[in-house]
Amino acid sequence: MISSLTKTPEQLLDELGITEPSQIKIEAIAYHCQAIILYEPLSGCEANIVGRGDRAIITVDSSALRTRQRFSAGHELGHWMKDRGQVAFGCGREQMDSHWIANNPETRANQFASDLLLPSKLFVPLAKGRPITVETVRDLGRVFEMSLTATAIKLVRFGSFPSMVLYFEDGERKWFIPSGQDLPRLLLWPVKQLDPSTVSARLSSGGIEREGMDDVRTDKWFDVQNANRYYVRESCFATGPGSVVTLLWWEDEKQIIDLQEEEEQNASRRSDWRRED
């Protein structure tokens, strides 16, 4: 018999017969993995896990929002399934908001939570054809009872259109994730600092509250040729003082197509040069 501790989120969901977002009960899934979730006031972290033998207790901050609690519990369950045998984990907002791209236990725990609580099989059909904006993120976040950041990342990765999600702290980029292979990655490298004229910068500095949306010229975001000729739909929400998650959506895909052509030309020029060599 395969131990439940070696299973992937997809296997767990299949095994429990979960076919709708409303059936994703984190407490029941954790129990299935021999972990119990408790809700208690915590200071200094969002959640922690203590494991012994093949059983674990996950404690989640009882004062956090429900969406945050669910994600934190999924994150700790990820540690239980992936990093078992290591010392106990206590995880704060920093771990959950900042670690999405590095290869470390925090990123793996976030990925586990995302695959479990926003499973692609259920998410993709609901995200199909939807605009890559904060409004869609809010809507899908409600359906899956998930935090906006986790939902935004899933929407960019599994949505229908070329887009990018970025995270800024005090105007400085901490990470970004592009949608699939359709984006010319090397050419579309976003700015390190927020341009002060963007709605994300205004949100970051407290000039506006909670969220915003705008159509902006892409030269505010990317240092590429002719960037001022194209527009991108920018929408953003705040996750804390000075922390902002931004979505960029190429509703008009002209820039992507032009850049792809440029990339192809560069590649063929390089191979010509090799032939002459």
Q: Quick check: 95 binds Zn ion (CB under 5 A)?
A: yes
Closest Cα to residue 151, out of 190, 122, 189, 184?
Answer: 122
Backbone angles phi, psi at 112, to 5 degrees: -60, -50
Q: How far is the CB of 49 from Zn ion (least distance, A)?
A: 8
Please give the residues from 97 up to 126 whose contact with Zn ion meets the rule CB under 5 A: 106, 109
User: For residues 194 and 181, is the Cβ–Cβ distance under 8 A?
Assistant: no
Q: How far is the CB of 204 from Zn ion (least distance, A)?
A: 26
CB neighbourhood size of 206 (10 A): 10
Q: How far is the CB of 94 from Zn ion (least distance, A)?
A: 10
Distance CA 168, CA 269 (A): 37
User: For residues 137 and 165, is the Cβ–Cβ distance under 8 A?
Assistant: no
Please work out the total of residues on this chain that contact Zn ion, with binding judged by CB under 5 A: 5
The span of 36-44, 89-97, 137-145, 171-179 binding Zn ion (CB under 5 A) equals 89-97
Q: Quick check: 203 binds Zn ion (CB under 5 A)?
A: no
Distance CA 156, CA 160 (A): 8
3-class DSSP state of 53 = coil
The span of 85-93, 155-163, 181-189, 223-231 binding Zn ion (CB under 5 A) equals 85-93
Q: Toward Zn ion, which CB reaches closer, 77 or 256? A: 77
Q: Toward Zn ion, which CB reaches closer, 89 or 123? A: 89
Q: How far is the CB of 34 from Zn ion (least distance, A)?
A: 19
Closest Cα to residue 153, out of 212, 98, 202?
Answer: 98
In total, the chain counts a number of residues equal to 277
Please give the residues from 236 up to 275 whose contact with Zn ion meets the rule CB under 5 A: none
Q: How far is the CB of 199 from Zn ion (least distance, A)?
A: 31
β-pair type (55-61, 35-40): parallel
Point out the residue whose Cβ comes nearest to Zn ion.
Answer: 91
Given the structure tokens 């017969």, which residue do they identify? 17
Backbone angles phi, psi at 55, to 5 degrees: -125, 150
Q: How far is the CB of 146 from Zn ion (least distance, A)?
A: 17
Distance CA 35, CA 74 (A): 11
81, 91, 122, 166: residue in contact with Zn ion (rule CB under 5 A): 91
The span of 66-74, 82-90, 240-248, 251-259 binding Zn ion (CB under 5 A) equals 82-90
Q: Quick check: 42 binds Zn ion (CB under 5 A)?
A: no
The contact set with Zn ion (CB under 5 A) reads: 89, 91, 95, 106, 109
